[in-house]
Structure 1
Amino acid sequence: MRLLIAASGTGGHVFPAIATAEQLRDYQIEWLGVPDRLETQLVGDYAQGSYPLHTISVAGFQQKLGLGSLKVLLRLIGSIRQVRRLLKQGKFDGVFTTGGYIAAPAILAARSLGLPVILHESNALPGKVTRWFAPWCSVVAIGFQAASDYLPRGKTICVGTPVRSQFRSALDDTALEDLSIPKDVPLIVVVGGSQGAVALNKLVRKAAPAWFDAGAWVVHLTGDSDPDAQRLQHSQYVVLPFYDNMAALFQRANLAISRSGAGTLTELAITHTPSILIPYPFAAEDHQAFNAAVFAEAGAAEVYRQADLTSEVLEAQVLMMLKSPDRLQQMAKQAASLAVVNSAEQLAQLIRRGLG
């Protein structure tokens, strides 16, 4: 069977697709992406070059109608033609996509050829493309049950969101040796998403000295766009733009402070990590707030709006949580209740059934 995977843009779209592809080793898989996006690196790095990568020129849909919308529409039409040609020449049996704007030409091209499409939506509030094109898909797999409220009835099935295989492995005692963190200290991990989060970083740098005084260590992943990333220096503070082994880092953490992208939340659930979530306020349609609400309602996280959060409040909240190990343990249990450990297997099975 030949499968075209359309997954582009961010790790939240690409990593679940890679994890699913790993469960379909008997399939011939090729990848559809966009030039200069994250998949051009990730598909090669994590998939070891296993999947031929095709790229098309397509852009997101504008909020308001205008000249920009016309350009996007013309580019969409051209990209549909490109994908149709690829699907026909490659004799593909179907398409799997994880949403985002690349899903539009992939879905339309596949359906115009009578090919099945399996769509996975990881967010609690589905994106525009998912909401618009879900009726065209054979099945829509969702990461959060809450997403079904926005999608056609009878079309969705909740399977969680697949994570990379490393997140399903036990913590290796030697995994974090390069960070030199003592084994008996509380560890706070701060992560702002694949692009970092300058506003979040500023709050953490102001609050962190009180956490150091309480004996905690902090691993702060700042992203690569923060000009003040190195401003705070302390023996209990490890600052890096990114870190490869996030699975081990989250497993070791007593508490995470994070944005609330669906991919990161899935990883926190799988690793049973209590968290303080600060949704990215400029995410499309505020979808990170919807994701965070799922964790807050389950008791797995505390959630703060960035506009309402001060460094003093963050400092006090973390100190209170570190002094309440029973509460952290309960939050970890609730995070675990949200995890779907075999999500990749379930999604792969849906693809197998969809493609016949």
Structure 2
Amino acid sequence: MNNKTILLTGGGTAGHVSLNQALIPELKNLGFHVEYIGSKEGIENELIRESFPSVPYHAISSGKLRRYFSTKNFSDPFRVGAGLVQALTIIRKTKPVAIFSKGGFVSVPVVMAGRMMSIPVIIHESDVTPGLANKLALPFADHIFTVFKETLAHVPNDKSTCTGSVIRNELMEGTAEKGREISSFSNKLPVLMVMGGSQGSAMINSAIHNNLEQLLKQFNIIHLCGKGNHVAELDIHENYRQFEYVTHELPHLLHMTDFVVSRAGSNSIFEFLALKKPMLLVPLSIQKSRGDQILNANLFKKQGFAKVVEEEELSAERFMKELSQLQSDKDQLIETMTQAEAPITAAEMAKLVATFTK
């Protein structure tokens, strides 16, 4: 293959980066040279440079595409325009055989530049309905891959395929034994993992803190609280572990987990499903998002994979009630998840991407 180049793009949140992280080694195994286009300040800059220091990272200007009024709405189009020019320059230099986009604001100028340069563009959409960035990018795509079958109603049918979820290899390679080493719990209480997304969730964190005394009687708690949300005085509890963010440790911690409380990002909930972890989902409200997590969570609830509580209803008392119900329904949830359609591997996804190269 002579090390033909594939450009990956996507960023803004960890969910827009994690699939790309899983694909990079698999694309390399297929003989491709991989380079990445991301923003200068987004989380993708840190994640890609840290995980793959040998992968060339190209930082471009990226404007945020807002659905609400902001004075930055007047300046950000110029940043998107600058990003387009920068992406065109990178494409001319790297001569990729394809561009794979996971979405996020930074991906829009890259996808547009790819179409302008007649480079095959492949988009991946994880949520039930496409985000604003992917909506803008769809007309420039040669093919769209989706996780949910329901998404096919929102994208062009003649160039779309539902693959189901893609699970990274590291997730299945985690071990509960290693998780116990990391957490060093001294008792055998069931393990509750609490996740609020890469930035954390003030509302979920508050529900945990307000019920902590009662929760610690029932669980060992692994709390992924988000950057800057670590509460030092709570470290005195022997069965409570706080992490602002974890990367390589997460598969091990998940394998030792009995119950999960989480936001409802697509990547995360499908990982819980793959590991058969009973989950209580607290999706981002419509006031804070476009409602994609609500759709994700309600589909999982409808299929019997999860319990759901809306953010607006998440009082300390309601949280404990829902968590108790999650415990009661544990066996039924696991049985239903066992019957779910198997995910595809990152290696299989990489092969699908390769079919669209020039």
TM-score by length of 2: 0.90
1:237 aligned partner = 240
Q: CA RMSD in A?
A: 2.2
Q: Distance in 1 between matches of 2:237 and 2:294?
A: 32
State the shift of 1:167 in Å.
0.3
How many residues align? The count is 351
Task: Tell me the amino acid that sits aligned with residue 2 of structure 1.
Answer: T
Task: Tell me the amino acid that sits aligned with residue 133 of structure 2.
Answer: V
2:354 aligned partner = 352
2:298 aligned partner = 293
1:78 aligned partner = 82
Q: Decide whether aligned partners of structure 1 residues 67 and 208 sit closer, same or farther in structure 2, where only a CA change above 3 A counts.
A: closer
CA distances 1:121-179 after superposition (whole Å, capped 9, x unpaired)? 11122101212321321110112222222211222212234343210225252333131
Q: Decide whether aligned partners of structure 1 residues 339 and 242 sit closer, same or farther in structure 2, where only a CA change above 3 A counts.
A: farther
Q: Decide whether aligned partners of structure 1 residues 243 and 274 sit closer, same or farther in structure 2, where only a CA change above 3 A counts.
A: same
Q: Distance in 1 between matches of 2:82 and 2:220?
A: 52
Q: Distance in 1 between matches of 2:95 and 2:133?
A: 25
Q: Decide whether aligned partners of structure 1 residues 58 and 337 sit closer, same or farther in structure 2, where only a CA change above 3 A counts.
A: farther
Task: Tell me the amino acid that sits aligned with residue 81 of structure 1.
Answer: V
Task: Tell me the amino acid that sits aligned with residue 315 of structure 2.
Answer: T
Task: Select which of 118, 125, 134 maps to 2:122.
Answer: 118
Task: Select which of 4, 7, 16 maps to 1:4.
Answer: 7
Divergent runs of 4+, >4 A = 64-67, 336-340
Task: Select which of 260, 263, 273 maps to 2:264.
Answer: 260
Q: Decide whether aligned partners of structure 1 residues 231 and 170 sit closer, same or farther in structure 2, where only a CA change above 3 A counts.
A: closer
Deviates more, 1:244-253 or 1:116-125: 244-253
Q: Distance in 2 between matches of 1:177 and 1:66?
A: 47
1:192 aligned partner = 196
Query: What secondary structure, in the 3-state scheme, does the structure 1 residue paired with 2:157 have?
Result: coil
Task: Select which of 309, 316, 319 maps to 2:321.
Answer: 316
Q: Decide whether aligned partners of structure 1 residues 320 and 172 sit closer, same or farther in structure 2, where only a CA change above 3 A counts.
A: closer
Deviates more, 1:335-344 or 1:309-318: 335-344
Q: Distance in 1 between matches of 2:182 and 2:345?
A: 31
Deviates more, 1:111-120 or 1:224-233: 224-233
Task: Tell me if the contact between 1:16 and 1:161 (Cα under 8 Å) persists in the aligned partners.
Answer: no
1:251 aligned onto 2:255: yes
Task: Tell me the amino acid that sits aligned with residue 331 of structure 2.
Answer: Q
The within-5 A match list for 1:80-159 is 80-159=84-163
Q: Distance in 1 between matches of 2:303 and 2:263?
A: 17
Query: What secondary structure, in the 3-state scheme, does the structure 2 residue paired with 1:248 have?
Result: helix
Q: Distance in 1 between matches of 2:259 and 2:214?
A: 15
Query: What secondary structure, in the 3-state scheme, does the structure 1 residue paired with 2:211 have?
Result: helix
Task: Select which of 148, 170, 173 maps to 1:166.
Answer: 170
Task: Tell me the amino acid that sits aligned with residue 353 of structure 2.
Answer: I
Q: Decide whether aligned partners of structure 1 residues 339 and 22 sit closer, same or farther in structure 2, where only a CA change above 3 A counts.
A: farther
Q: Decide whether aligned partners of structure 1 residues 273 and 66 sit closer, same or farther in structure 2, where only a CA change above 3 A counts.
A: closer
1:38 aligned partner = 43
Deviates more, 1:181-190 or 1:114-123: 181-190
Question: Kindly, what percent of the aligned residue pairs are identical?
Answer: 23
State the shift of 1:64 in Å.
5.0
TM-score by length of 1: 0.91
Q: Decide whether aligned partners of structure 1 residues 51 and 312 sit closer, same or farther in structure 2, where only a CA change above 3 A counts.
A: same
Query: What secondary structure, in the 3-state scheme, does the structure 2 residue paired with 1:319 have?
Result: helix
Unmatched runs of 5 consecutive residues or more in structure 2: none
Q: Distance in 1 between matches of 2:339 and 2:8?
A: 29
State the shift of 1:206 in Å.
1.9
State the shift of 1:63 in Å.
2.2
Q: Distance in 2 between matches of 1:137 and 1:126?
A: 13
State the shift of 1:339 in Å.
6.2
Unmatched runs of 5 consecutive residues or more in structure 1: none
Q: Decide whether aligned partners of structure 1 residues 107 and 243 sit closer, same or farther in structure 2, where only a CA change above 3 A counts.
A: closer
Task: Tell me if the contact between 1:131 and 1:150 (Cα under 8 Å) persists in the aligned partners.
Answer: no
The within-5 A match list for 1:61-72 is 61-63=65-67, 68-72=72-76
Task: Tell me if the contact between 1:279 and 1:306 (Cα under 8 Å) persists in the aligned partners.
Answer: yes
Task: Tell me the amino acid that sits aligned with residue 16 of structure 1.
Answer: L
Task: Tell me if the contact between 1:278 and 1:303 (Cα under 8 Å) persists in the aligned partners.
Answer: yes
Task: Tell me if the contact between 1:256 and 1:274 (Cα under 8 Å) persists in the aligned partners.
Answer: yes
